[in-house]
């Protein structure tokens, strides 16, 4: 909410592409945090029966927010690499994602893809096998894939591996590759700038080559990408190794992994982009 508030203090006409992506990420994270807490409450606290369609709708919103958060992270990592790549040769020329129209269009693509990839929630089997899924009084299942080691409907299995491949493994690969490329660019820029600074009359060029705001923002992006890699790698390991039917604590583990990224990443991005300063919150 702090990140959303700090960005919306700027007039929409002045919001840049990076801030647009941060706004989408923060909104998706906030929606996921709210819905996942409601869902966890229904799993553990509700003693009366829960309507299956209510479970499906709440899980749809949870998965929608999760995928949105992941896709916006991928978008931010690609955008940051584009900004750094060949920055010296490009000078003031903009990249494709610098256009605010392109930024809003790509944000719309992220939201649309998230909705489409979440729709199978409404058709997969939530009943499962009585011996593998322990539920009381029709409460919501802790694992929305509802796949145990001994029983997993074909549609649930297909959706599980499609979801893990497209929504977690592929973004994880893209973010990891982007982080290495960003580090490579930063190291190469440092090697190029250091000798130039030692040459007489070249200090002005050196200062132009290194924008401290861009560097600080890039470090924040790398930190958030590192958090992303750790969290979702653990998520993939647990999903492929354990099942909710065999691991009573799986719901808490999934909750911790999802919440740790969605709640911490906005602070990392906001601090790195100076969006949490007093001057920002004083703007009307």
Structure tokens, 169: 């493994």
pLDDT digits (tens, 9 = 90+) for 181-192: 998 888 887 766
Residue 76 pLDDT class (50, 70, 90 cuts) = very high
At a CB cut-off of 8 Å and minimum separation 6, what does 95 contact? 79, 82, 83
Q: What is the mean pLDDT of the chain?
A: 77
Per-residue confidence (pLDDT) for residue 193, from 0 to 100? 55
Residue 204 above 60 pLDDT?
no
Q: Which domains occur in the chain, in start order?
A: 2-282 (1.20.1070.10)
The residue among 281 and 209 whose pLDDT is bigger is 281
Distance, in Å, from the CA atom of 4 to the CA atom of 103, rounded to the nearest integer, reads: 17
Decide if 148 contacts 133 (C-beta within 8 A).
yes
Decide if 76 contacts 21 (C-beta within 8 A).
yes
Distance, in Å, from the CA atom of 138 to the CA atom of 171, rounded to the nearest integer, reads: 34
pLDDT digits (tens, 9 = 90+) for 8-67: 776 555 778 888 898 899 999 998 888 877 776 766 665 455 677 878 888 888 889 999
Number of H helices, E strands in the chain: 11, 0
């Amino acid at each position: 909410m702090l990140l959303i508030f700090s960005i919306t203090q700027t007039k929409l006409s002045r919001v840049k592409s990076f801030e647009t992506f941060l706004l989408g990420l923060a909104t998706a994270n906030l929606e996921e945090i709210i819905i996942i807490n409601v869902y966890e409450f229904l799993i553990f606290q509700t003693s009366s029966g829960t309507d299956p369609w209510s479970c499906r709708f709440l899980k749809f919103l949870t998965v929608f927010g999760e995928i949105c958060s992941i896709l916006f992270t991928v978008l931010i990592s690609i955008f940051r690499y584009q900004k750094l790549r060949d920055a010296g040769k490009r000078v003031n020329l903009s990249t494709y994602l610098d256009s605010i129209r392109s930024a809003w269009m790509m944000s719309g693509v992220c939201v649309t893809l998230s909705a489409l990839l979440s729709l199978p929630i409404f058709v997969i089997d939530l009943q499962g096998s009585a011996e593998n899924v322990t539920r009381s009084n029709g409460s919501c299942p802790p694992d929305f894939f509802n796949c145990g080691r001994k029983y997993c409907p074909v549609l649930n299995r297909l959706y599980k591996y499609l979801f893990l491949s497209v929504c977690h493994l592929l973004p994880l690969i893209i973010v990891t590759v982007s982080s290495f490329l960003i580090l490579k660019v930063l190291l190469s820029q440092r090697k190029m700038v250091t000798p130039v600074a030692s040459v007489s009359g070249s200090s002005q060029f050196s200062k132009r080559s290194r924008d401290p705001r861009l560097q600080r923002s890039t470090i924040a992006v790398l930190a958030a990408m590192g958090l992303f890699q750790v969290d979702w790698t653990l998520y993939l390991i647990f999903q492929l190794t354990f099942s909710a039917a065999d691991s009573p604590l799986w719901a808490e583990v999934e909750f911790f992994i999802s919440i740790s990224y969605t709640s911490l990443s906005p602070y990392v991005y906001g601090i790195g982009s100076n969006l949490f300063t007093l001057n920002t919150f004083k703007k009307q």
